[in-house]
Amino acid sequence: MKRLIHCSLSILAVAVVLGLGIWLSTLKASPAKILMKEHPYTFSKTKEWGKEKRDQYLEEGGCVFISYPKTKAKETAKVISAFLEEAKTEYSKFAAENTADIPRLAIDYTAEKKSDYTALTLTYAIGRYKEDGQGEDLLLGAQHLYLDEKNTILDLEALLGAENQEKLKLLLDRSKLSMDDLESFIYSEEQVVLKWTEEERTFTMDEIKRAGKVDPNKPMIAFTFDDGPGKYTEQFADLLTRYNGRGTFFMLGVNVGNYKESVEYAYTQGHEIASHTMRHKNLNILSSSEVEKEVNDADQIIQSVIGEKPKLVRPPYGNANSKVTSIINRPVIHWSLDTEDWRTRNAEAVKNAILKNVSDGAIILMHEIYQSSYDGLALALEQLAKEGYQFVSVSELLEYRQVQAEVKAYHSIPPQ
């Protein structure tokens, strides 16, 4: 009996010791370890490239969660490794400076295969745990890489193509920016985001494709077309495009609804869509509210088609007194050369009116609703191109002549 009692006590003692050990081990579990278990980081599921390497561990008194892609491409692997080291270094600095908190580092990536490249985005988030146990990100980092089928990192020119790269440079030149000191970029099939130390600019792919090659030191003129859109709009757009030119189409809002496809077509070809008001009324004899309605109605319908409000307005008949100009509240575009195509309705007369009176910086008035106007323009462009003229939109003429657009009337923009 004594032996049985002694055996039972021994078993009980072992159980107590084991229980005590388990209890003590629970007490010894660090807060970071508990948080790591109870509030793990949720990694991205979009990983269509590389072999994922995932890990989690305690470091610097906090939690580290890591997911990154492994690749045999040496240069790409080197960039990934450098990004990981940067994240870990920043985490160590943060943990040392925030000793009262439980720090957290999460390194993750997304990789998505596109038609001719893979978009790889590496990210890190450094922060701490809040009272509810959820992570709070305080420092963020990201690196965007674009890989070809050999897993080689592509530069921006490889993604855009040489022609679009040159067009982008032209857009940057106008803004006095350079790609030489570009720090990073984000590319997609819709847009490009360029980042410098203290500046960031976004260009849509449509905007880049529309950019033309213009030499600011050579003569340039702006052809403008009133009273459209109409059945000839696309023909006018194509004609100028053949000469690497762009025109400005001053459109009536009442016509836009019937020719939406033509408006969009001209816009995507790089031509400027501007406003000729809604209903072609004499603005000088209207009340302020009526003028506003004429302008605003046209703005709305044009914006519904091209996605942006017209930057320029041409008042019907060229009538815009100081009151009207202030209500329009943007550059009012008149002309320096009137072809009177509406009166002659003759291609030869239109051609002669242009060639006899043209000058560098001229803004030329035409109408896009007559076949004779199109034919006359075709004849004139052939000769003007031989003489070295470039054909630009009104906004481009302002930009290349380095004229800051103001709320006032413009008739021409000659060289300064």
Among 6, 132, 226, 338, which one carries the catalytic annotation? 226
What's the rounded Cα separation, in Å, for the pair 43 and 314?
55
With 50 as the cut, is the pLDDT of residue 20 above it? no
With 90 as the cut, is the pLDDT of residue 297 above it? yes
The residue-averaged pLDDT of 136-156 equals: 96
Same domain membership, residue 276 and residue 329: yes
Among 108, 227, 341, 367, which one carries the catalytic annotation? 367
| pLDDT recorded at residue 130 | 87
Residue 367: active-site member: yes
Helix 288-306 to helix 260-268 angle, to the nearest 10 degrees?
70
Structural domain of residue 290, as residue ranges?
Answer: 220-410
User: Could you tell me the pLDDT band of residue 16, with boundaries at 50, 70 and 90?
Assistant: very low
Same domain membership, residue 291 and residue 261: yes
Same domain membership, residue 355 and residue 225: yes
Same domain membership, residue 162 and residue 136: no
Q: What is the CATH number of the domain that holds 107?
A: 3.30.565.40
Same domain membership, residue 259 and residue 165: no
Residue 19 covered by a domain:
no
Cβ neighbors of 354 (< 8 A, separation 6 or more) are 337, 339, 364, 376, 377, 380, 384
Please write the tens of the pLDDT for every residue from 319-337: 999 999 999 999 999 999 9
Same domain membership, residue 364 and residue 238: yes
Please write the tens of the pLDDT for every residue from 21-75: 443 333 345 899 999 999 999 999 999 999 999 999 999 999 999 999 999 999 9
Task: Count up the domains in the chain and report the number.
Answer: 3
With 90 as the cut, is the pLDDT of residue 347 above it? yes
Residue 73 covered by a domain:
yes
What's the rounded Cα separation, in Å, for the pair 381 and 351?
9
Same domain membership, residue 285 and residue 244: yes
Does pTM top 0.85 for this prediction?
no
With 50 as the cut, is the pLDDT of residue 258 above it? yes
| pLDDT recorded at residue 109 | 98
Same domain membership, residue 116 and residue 134: yes
| pLDDT recorded at residue 155 | 96
Q: What is the CATH number of the domain that holds 187?
A: 3.10.450
Same domain membership, residue 165 and residue 88: no
In the chain, % of residues over pLDDT 70: 92
Residue 186 covered by a domain:
yes
Placement of tokens 């709070």 in the chain: 136
| pLDDT recorded at residue 170 | 80
Residue 335 covered by a domain:
yes
Mean pLDDT over each residue of the chain, to the nearest integer: 91
Please write the tens of the pLDDT for every residue from 277-296: 999 999 999 999 999 999 99
Residue 18 covered by a domain:
no
